[in-house]
Amino acid sequence: MDAPVIVVIGAGPAGTRAAQTLACAGLRPVILDENQRQGGQIYRRQPKNFTRPATKLYGASAASATALHTDFEALRSSVDYRPETMAWGVSGDMLLTECRGQADALRFDGLIIASGATDRIMPCPGWTLPGVFSLGGSQIALKAQACAIGQAPVFMGTGPLLYLVAWQYLQAGVKPRAVLDTSSLTTRLRGLGGLRRRPAVLAQGLRYMADLARSGVTLRSGIRPVRVEARQDGETLCAGAVVWKDGRGRTHRTECDAVGMGYGLRSETQLADLLKCDFAFDATSRQWLPVTDRDGATSRAGVYLAGDGAGIRGADAAESAGALAALRCLQDMGRPVMEGEMARLRAALKPMNAFRHGLETGFPWPWRHAADLPDDTVVCRCENVTAGDIRRAAGPLDSPEINRAKAFVRVGMGRCQGRMCGLAGAEILAAARGITIEEAGRIRSAAPVKPLPAKIRGVVT
């Protein structure tokens, strides 16, 4: 009998630990990685000719990052690692991939999706100006390319990444003009119960805040973004200031030369959707997520999710979840696994779940802002669709859910297929129609998961 084919999508913390577990069991997993080098987003590696030390790149997580990289290098000969390879579609029981224009189709007996997450964006007027980056993008610029988004950036949004990125910029010698958080002290206290389940991580976050404050960085909570204002930069306009309101409703204006913006993360779930996995609405994070059990098994036999692609729990949880999903996959295939190890991993994930709930409660997605966005605010930047367009779809065009609005006014129809604007778009629709966000639905996924080069050849040609 042929050895079963197990495909792991993604080579961040979850994908790497899943592949390692499979290799330890004597299998040779296929790893599909969109990036050029293993590490994922959080432990993204710098280009080969860059020489910054891990402590500089990953701060407090340097040891974890180095371990993940080293362990992966040790695995190289026992895995089929395919960098620069996108899993873009599903045809029957085959996963379709693309690498530099070459198509491939992989039949799989088991599939572990560790596709990670992207920034969750709440638009505000001016957010599409040059010089406005997502928090994740701000971090990648620094981590991979040793570039700052500006010399005087403002970081705005909410969630732990907000403070981490600001702190990393500070370490790199760029002092942020301000860190503006939409969550209030009240909501953070509400999340404290969950956050306390991981005291070391909580302490780390508090240290970032303290370092920023000590360096004279303005830290404000309970703010409301009003707009990003433009400044003239040569021939073009770019971000020049952030106008915001404090908790008492007073308006402030902070000059800057760049803005990093993000409101927590959203899971990359298109592949699970294309595989027809069941989804359920998650009330805390106000988004639809694939249904998984405690080990990461989805509703579709042989398909497992691990890491932030299954709900945002962060890098440490992703390592445990990746290993656990791989063990579960092996177990489901009738292979002997160590039950004790599975129990240990499940136990390790428990406080992570509580911590995640604490984060989502403490640093909530500011969904109420959607209702107040001015009509001329661009929401879908790919297709230049405004909040007013979505309200027209909701009202005069009578769209009961977000896919209908997409059909009418093109929200979520562009290059990113709604990965950036879908959640905010649904909030605007829900507010305009007076329905729940659950009723507003989610944008249905379609192949390709990301833009596919038309020069692609192979498999059928």
Partner 1 sequence: MSLSTQIAGRADVIIAGGGVMGAATAFFARQLGLSVILLERDLVGQYASGTNFGNVRRQGRFLQQLPLSNRSRELWGRLPELIGEDVEFVAAGHVRVSFKEEDSQRLEKYAEDCKPYGLDLEIYSGRQAVDRFPMLSPDVHLASFSPLDGHANPRLAAPAFARAARRAGATVLERTEVLNISKNSEDFVVETSGGQRFVAPQLQISVGAWARKVAAAFGEDLPLVPKAPQMAVTEPVPYRIHPVIGYASWVEEEGVYLRQVERGNIVFGGGRRSTVDLEAKRARLDPLNTLRQMPHMERLLPDFARLRIIRTWAGIESYTDDDLPVMGASSLVPGLFYAFGFCGAGFQLGPGVGATMADLLATGQTEIPLAPFSIARFASAAVA
For residue 392, the minimal CB distance to partner 1 (Å) is: 13
Q: Which stretch binds partner 1 (CB under 8 A): 226-234, 340-348, 363-371, 453-461?
A: 453-461
- For 96, phi then psi, to 5°, come to -100, 135
Q: Which stretch binds partner 1 (CB under 8 A): 127-135, 161-169, 256-264, 410-418?
A: 410-418
Which of 241, 277 has the CB closer to partner 1?
277
Most distant pair of Cα atoms in the chain: their distance: 71
The H-or-E segment that residue 279 falls in is strand 279-282
Which of 106, 354 has the CB closer to partner 1?
106
For residue 414, the minimal CB distance to partner 1 (Å) is: 7
For residue 106, the minimal CB distance to partner 1 (Å) is: 13
d(C-alpha 294, C-alpha 297), whole Å = 8
Q: How many residues bind partner 1 (CB under 8 A)?
A: 33
CB-based contact 82:51 (threshold 8 Å)? no
Q: Does 461 bind partner 1 (CB under 8 A)?
A: yes
For residue 283, the minimal CB distance to partner 1 (Å) is: 25
* 63, 189, 210, 446: which one binds partner 1 (CB under 8 A): 446
* 67, 106, 146, 452: which one binds partner 1 (CB under 8 A): 452
Which of 385, 430 has the CB closer to partner 1?
385
Which of 52, 276 has the CB closer to partner 1?
276
**Judging by beta carbons within 10 Å of its beta carbon (0-12, 13-18, 19+), is residue 448 exposed, middle or buried?**
middle
- By C-alpha distance, which of 187, 144, 192, 202 is closest to 168? 144
- For 337, phi then psi, to 5°, come to -130, 160
Which of 49, 461 has the CB closer to partner 1?
461
CB-based contact 33:6 (threshold 8 Å)? no
Tokens of 430: 């829900």
d(C-alpha 341, C-alpha 210), whole Å = 38
Strand partners, 6: 110
Length of the chain: 461
Q: Does 435 bind partner 1 (CB under 8 A)?
A: no
* 13, 29, 39, 89: which one binds partner 1 (CB under 8 A): 89
**Contacting partner 1 within 90-109 (CB under 8 A):** 90-92, 96, 103, 105
Which of 189, 459 has the CB closer to partner 1?
459
The H-or-E segment that residue 299 falls in is none
Q: Which stretch binds partner 1 (CB under 8 A): 19-27, 51-59, 131-139, 447-455?
A: 447-455
Query: Measuring CA to CA, how many Å separate 210 from each of 139, 162, 203, 364?
Result: 20, 14, 10, 21
For residue 398, the minimal CB distance to partner 1 (Å) is: 8
Q: Which stretch binds partner 1 (CB under 8 A): 43-51, 231-239, 423-431, 449-457?
A: 449-457
> Per-residue DSSP letters for 338-394?
-HHHHHHHHHHHHHHHHHHHHHHHHS---TTHHHHS-TT-EEETTTTEEHHHHHHHH
Which of 1, 454 has the CB closer to partner 1?
454
For residue 130, the minimal CB distance to partner 1 (Å) is: 19
Which of 222, 400 has the CB closer to partner 1?
400
Which of 57, 90 has the CB closer to partner 1?
90
CB-based contact 453:85 (threshold 8 Å)? no
Strand partners, 260: 133, 155
Q: Which stretch binds partner 1 (CB under 8 A): 123-131, 174-182, 306-314, 409-417?
A: 409-417
Q: Does 458 bind partner 1 (CB under 8 A)?
A: yes
Q: Does 414 bind partner 1 (CB under 8 A)?
A: yes
Q: Does 347 bind partner 1 (CB under 8 A)?
A: no
**Contacting partner 1 within 389-408 (CB under 8 A):** 397, 400, 404, 407-408
Q: Which stretch binds partner 1 (CB under 8 A): 84-92, 251-259, 291-299, 339-347?
A: 84-92
Query: Quick check: helix, strand or coil at residue 230?
Result: strand
* Amino acid in position 84: E
For residue 400, the minimal CB distance to partner 1 (Å) is: 7
* Amino acid in position 32: L
Q: Does 301 bind partner 1 (CB under 8 A)?
A: no
- Residues 368-400: b if buried by 16+ CB within 10 A, e if exposed: ebbeebeeebbbbbbbebbbbbbbbbbeeeebe
Reading phi first (left if > 0) and then psi (alpha if -120 to 50, else beta), residue 391 is in alpha
Residues that bind partner 1 (CB under 8 A): 88-92, 96, 103, 105, 383, 397, 400, 404, 407-408, 410, 413-415, 417, 446-448, 451-461
